[in-house]
Amino acid sequence: MKDAIKSILPVNVRTRLKWAGYAVKDIIDPVKDPRVPNRRDTFVGGGDFVAVGDDFLKTLKRHGVTTDMAILDVGCGQGRMARPLTEFLVPEGRYLGFDIVKAGVEWCQTHYDDLPNFTFVHADVFNARYNADGKTEASAYTFPSDSDAYDFAFLTSVFTHMFQKDVERYLSEITRSLKPGGRCLITWFLLNPQTEACKAPRLTFRFPVDEVSKTTLEDNPEAAIAFSENWVREAYLKNGLAIEAIEYGNWANPHSQFGYQDTIIARKV
């Protein structure tokens, strides 16, 4: 009955009801962790803020992240992935996160100001969905990171909202930022014969954006963008990143043991 009622309500009404519910929960059961935003102020996606971050730390550890590494978080949001790292990294380790949503970065700068090895930077990059007033095109943006400086970089649900030329720029910046042999973990929506053949994907990419990508919404392509896996593989090779593993997510692979999106782990050669 609950789902049936939701299905007949306009999207804007459902959204307002959802955030009203979050506001009530914030009053009844206020968030006590200083590094967890109020439910009504969270903008980094679905799922429990703490549980998602804790689970992602397990993924990072599974792919070789250690306590003393220099870590680059591209699209850090409100620190959902940074929070568990505060109890994992030793003082010799360090973290740099940047994001195009200024409010999220400012929130992190305030709530992590007691940690000198954690830095958050606002990237004033244009994105029609997340930063419509951004001054810099993503295709021309230079990361706020030194060259050959990071052991590990990760991007969660970043390239799923970016266009081809912007992704190409970010891949080159990831390579520049990583130390030789450094690794990166990036989530994608990958289009290949298996995902295209899926009869009931959790997202359907119907509308071509260009020759290598498709979107779910023709009038709002940055809502969700999927890329040809063949093109992605070529882009990694072009930028000196050797793919070590691909973990296909359950968005179009219902029996996947991994998360929602597809994940590529690669090494700078």
Q: N- to C-terminal Cα distance for the chain?
A: 54
Whether 225 contacts 164, CB under 8 Å: no
State mean pLDDT over 212-234.
97
Check whether 179 has a pLDDT greater than 50: yes
Global pTM reads 0.87
The whole-number pLDDT of residue 16 equals 52
The whole-number pLDDT of residue 169 equals 98
Backbone angles phi, psi at 244, to 5 degrees: -100, -30
| Extents of the domains making up the chain | 46-268
**Residue with token string 């992240």:** 65
State mean pLDDT over 31-48.
75
The whole-number pLDDT of residue 34 equals 87
As a whole number of angstroms, the distance between CA 33 and CA 35 comes to 5
CATH superfamily for domain 46-268: Vaccinia Virus protein VP39 (3.40.50.150)
Stretch among 42-56, 120-134, 240-254 having the lowest mean pLDDT: 42-56
In tens, the pLDDT along 181-209 reads: 999 999 999 999 999 999 999 999 999 99
* Per-residue confidence band for 4, with pLDDT thresholds at 50, 70 and 90: very low
The whole-number pLDDT of residue 129 equals 82
Check whether 127 has a pLDDT greater than 50: yes
The whole-number pLDDT of residue 47 equals 76
The whole-number pLDDT of residue 33 equals 78
Whether 178 contacts 268, CB under 8 Å: yes
In tens, the pLDDT along 137-176 reads: 999 999 999 999 999 999 999 999 999 999 999 999 999 9
Q: Residue 212 to residues 6, 139, 227, 264: CA-CA distances in angstroms?
A: 35, 17, 6, 17
State mean pLDDT over 67-80.
96
